[in-house]
Amino acid sequence: MTFSQQHQVNTSAAPERCKSFTFDVNQQAESLRQWEQRYNQHSNGTFSGYLDELTLGGVHFFEEFTNRTLQQQCCVKHDNLWLGFSLQSLRPKINNSDVLAGQIMTRPSGVEFELMTPPDFHIYGLVINKHSLDTEMIGADFDLWQDKSTHLQVSQPAPYVSYELAKLISLLLGNSNSPMGSTHLLQDASHSRLTRLTPLITSKVADLLMQTEYQQHNISVSQQTTQRVIADITEYIQETGNYPLTVTELCQISNVSRRALQYCFEQGLGVSPIQYIRDCRLNEIRRALLSANNQDSIADLALNFGFFHISTFNAYYKELFAETPTQTIQRASHYYHPVLSKIATTRL
């Protein structure tokens, strides 16, 4: 058996992907890119592990498995930010502090830290180029995130966020250990599809990260601002005929932060901006599926309207309309040939 088995894909039409299987703790430490780190093994037996990594749109996604207890001395390279978390019941420690379920560990580049990880341990991680994330943060969110990313060691428990991030990473990597099974979001993706997917995925990461501390920061938004924000977005849709596909776009159109946008929609419309714009896009897709002139497939329509995972899109669609997209197509003809019933009346 070879010391390290590695598979890499790096073409102009594909994201940078690397998966390595290692059988020595030192090789494991050396395999992870964009890091300086050193591992010591602290439980008996032969070591084995793997790293599965993907770089897409300024974000480096990875999953790591190690079968032995490890002490890890780590430092992230360059102008990046590391976030790590695990869904397992056995918990790691960071700088001798316990990491609770749902907490996300955070460290900026150039700052050394120590991890103690238990045996048979899976950890998910993101190494984010700070410039890439800064472009997603609008207004007050930028200042909040800068402060949080520099000083925060672990987030407040956020099980939903860690689960959704794990699901996203697993969809990108196509790993069978994930909450979503072994589906692969990028399998056979064309260059044009990747071009459309990348900003959606980057914005999704930013949306989730801002939720980790959202509930701890109170904001004040006037009724006038709430009306103005909703009006700006409504007018944009009416004038362009396009629905924004990401929360970042909504913030840019209305010139408010993610937190202010959330408040405006919850107070003004009773729903989150994500749900509102998602429902709007689902309605547009339904209209397209009912149109006799539609030539696009369900998958293409879903991606055109910002749904980058077809199973998730189908679930949202069925929840809203109580039927699948395929059932909508099958019943489309009934909308253009309605059955009219005549009701006979009896004169008393």
Two tokens at 243? 């629905």
In a domain, 111, yes or no: yes
| 223 shares its domain with 322 | yes
Q: Which domain holds residue 243?
A: 214-334
Cα dihedral 264/269/275/281 (nearest 10): -110
| 159 shares its domain with 234 | no
**Domain endpoint, select from 159, 177, 195:** 177
In a domain, 28, yes or no: yes
Tens digit of each residue's pLDDT (9 = 90 or more) over 160-208: 899 999 989 988 888 655 554 545 666 656 677 777 788 888 888 888 8
| 134 shares its domain with 27 | yes
| C-alpha to C-alpha distance for 34 and 214, rounded to whole angstroms | 29
Q: Between 192 and 331, where is the model more confident?
A: 331
| 318 shares its domain with 221 | yes
Cα dihedral 140/145/151/156 (nearest 10): 100
Please count the structural domains in the chain: 2
| C-alpha to C-alpha distance for 51 and 64, rounded to whole angstroms | 5
Cα dihedral 146/157/166/149 (nearest 10): 10
Model confidence at 8, pLDDT cuts 50, 70, 90, reads very low
| 295 shares its domain with 166 | no
CATH number of the domain at 43, please.
2.60.120.10
| 164 shares its domain with 255 | no
Tens digit of each residue's pLDDT (9 = 90 or more) over 206-231: 888 877 765 455 667 899 999 999 99
**Whole-structure pTM value:** 0.76
Percent of the chain with pLDDT over 90: 43
